[in-house]
Amino acid sequence: MHYFNIISYIISHIFLILFIYLFIVHRYSKIVTILSCLFLFLSLSILDGFKLLLFPDSSLCYVLVTILQIILTQSTAFFNAKTKSSQALFVGLSASSYVIVGAISAAIIKIYSGSSLLALVGSFAVHLGILLFLSASIRNICISFQEKSYDRNWWELCLIPVFFYCSFSFIGFFPHTLYENPENVPGILFVVITMFVSYTVVLRYLQSESKKNTIYWENMLQQSYIQGLENRYYFVERAEQNLKILNHDIRHYSKIIDSLLKQKKYEEIKAITEHISHMADENQLEEYCSNLIVNTILSNMIVKAHSLKIKVSLTARVPKETPVNDYELALVIANLLENAIQCVQSFETERRQIEMNIHCSKSQLFIETKNKYEGEILLDSITNLPKSKKNGNHGLGMQSILAFSKKMNGTVGCYLEGGIFHIMMTAKF
């Protein structure tokens, strides 16, 4: 019986490692990842020998070894994960929950058939079926969430596989096994069905919400872009009209200057030329950078800031063509500037000041905003970035900034100094 359990566990360990390998975005090369998985397989198999062969009747040994196996499994998942995030932990815990279903199937088949060989073959088939089903249904969702935005709620979702694993363990294996209580088989089958339904529904719901957020920000960006173009059209139209008036009046100015020249009144002539120059400067369109999309968004945000009597000191060096998606870059800039505007708009007029520096080249990106702040700024303990006072999580704007940073393999950081809030983003292409 012990040897049957050992073989059953070995089969489960193989599929556990396959699940982790397939459902986690790897940080290291294939060779390093495979070697770490091989180390996990050997460690789990050796520990199985302790609780099934050396100390088969010791409940304490069973519990301690199982806890150690769980720690090793989750540590390996974290070690191989590209980002040490809640998504990686969720995948590692889920792997343990799904694999234990295959182990339970071996016990159920043996109870009803009495054949160890049939139980092992059936267990292998169940494991394979589960892996193929999950690969087709939720693998892409898991991978996409690991590659995308930070989501604090995934730490809470990790409770789902934890409770399913505990339910399977206590109903099927400890302190009494299914062999001792076969009447528990219908109950544990119902728990298995519940787990599959729960995972599929929850993950697809999260995917749906993620798509909604993406669509929301795309709409916001397009709206801001359109508003920027409308503002630009208004300024162009106004400048053209003023320049037409200036061109019409230039004849009169010319006659006045000729008359003053005859009278040798040079100071008056200088005043007239300065007035003409000033009018020309006033009707010159502001170009913040060479990139059309970024310049349009900046124009719209500056107009909004000026409408709130906020002074913006802006330096933007963004070329016409950038190594990143122009719309995504513009969205990040708009979010950072929007957050700064919201922070200072309630201050006294003289304190409504924002400084923003944007430098983008073929090799790197640097964005920095500075603004005064009042009261307490809540920083997330994990990302060390501001979070909303309403729900204790990052706002949608900050989540969008983090998603862009991760996509570019960049970094986002902030610090408070002398009543000034600084936030910076850097990335190398």
Structure tokens, 137: 């249904």
Give SS3 for 208.
Answer: helix
**303 vs 219: which has the higher pLDDT:** 303
Element (H, E) at 417: strand 411-417
Q: What percent of the chain has pLDDT over 70?
A: 79
Question: Going along 229-335, which residue ranges are E strands?
Answer: 311-317
- Does residue 369 surpass a pLDDT of 90? yes
pLDDT of res. 356: 95
Structure tokens, 74: 């989750």
Cα–Cα dist 276/248, whole Å: 12
CB distance 4 to 116 below 8 Å: yes
- Does residue 29 surpass a pLDDT of 80? yes
- Strand 311-317 relative to strand 353-360, pairing: parallel
- Does residue 23 surpass a pLDDT of 70? yes
pLDDT of res. 98: 85
Structure tokens, 20: 């982790």
CA proximity to 40, closest of 71, 6, 63: 71
Cα–Cα dist 2/77, whole Å: 28
Phi, psi for residue 179 in degrees, rounded to 5: -65, -35
- Does residue 86 surpass a pLDDT of 90? no
pLDDT of res. 153: 61
pLDDT tens-place string over residues 176-195: 778 788 888 888 888 888 88
pLDDT of res. 67: 86
- Does residue 354 surpass a pLDDT of 70? yes
Over the chain, what is the mean pLDDT? 80
C-alpha pair distances (Å), 354 with each of 17, 51, 227, 307, 420 = 51, 64, 21, 14, 10
pLDDT of res. 385: 77
Cα–Cα dist 191/177, whole Å: 16
Task: For residue 39, name the pLDDT band (cuts at 50, 70, 90).
Answer: very high
Mean local confidence (pLDDT), 2-27: 87
pLDDT tens-place string over residues 52-70: 788 887 878 888 888 898 8
- Does residue 321 surpass a pLDDT of 80? yes
pLDDT of res. 56: 80
Task: For residue 238, name the pLDDT band (cuts at 50, 70, 90).
Answer: low
CA 160 to chain centre: 21
Cα–Cα dist 348/327, whole Å: 33
pLDDT of res. 316: 93
CA proximity to 22, closest of 105, 126, 94: 94
pLDDT of res. 360: 92
Mean local confidence (pLDDT), 21-47: 90
Domains parsed from the chain with CATH numbers: 2-217 (no CATH), 287-429 (3.30.565.10)
**219 vs 307: which has the higher pLDDT:** 307
Q: What is the 3-state secondary structure (H, E, C) of 340-403?
A: HHHHHCCCCHHHCEEEEEEEECCCEEEEEEEEECCCCCCECCCCCCECCCCCCCCCHHHHHHHH
pLDDT of res. 15: 92
pLDDT of res. 241: 64
pLDDT of res. 102: 84
Between 246-255, 386-395, 403-412, the lowest mean confidence (pLDDT) is in 386-395
- Beta-bridge partners for 366: 359, 426
Task: For residue 38, name the pLDDT band (cuts at 50, 70, 90).
Answer: very high
Can you give the pTM of this predicted structure? Answer: 0.56
- Does residue 239 surpass a pLDDT of 60? no
Mean local confidence (pLDDT), 417-427: 89
Task: Classify burial at 109, counting beta carbons within 10 Å of its beta carbon; exposed 0-12, middle 13-18, buried 19 or more.
Answer: buried
